[in-house]
Amino acid sequence: MFTRRAIMKTTLAAGTAAVFAPAGFGHAAAGLSWKHFPAGENGFFRAPRC
């Protein structure tokens, strides 16, 4: 069981790490992009619109 002191130390450590982390560290999905899949009467088409 965690004590209040252990929880506070963990919270402060996580907050400090988040503040001082490099800017690109949290953007793992930066290379992804959205694709548009048009829908018709029977559902979505398989090929994306370019």
What pTM was computed for the model?
A: 0.43
What confidence tens digit (pLDDT) does each residue in 5-36 have?
Answer: 999 999 999 988 888 877 666 555 566 677 77
Q: How far apart are CA 45 and CA 40, in angstroms?
A: 7
- For the chain, how big is the Rg over CA atoms in Å? 22
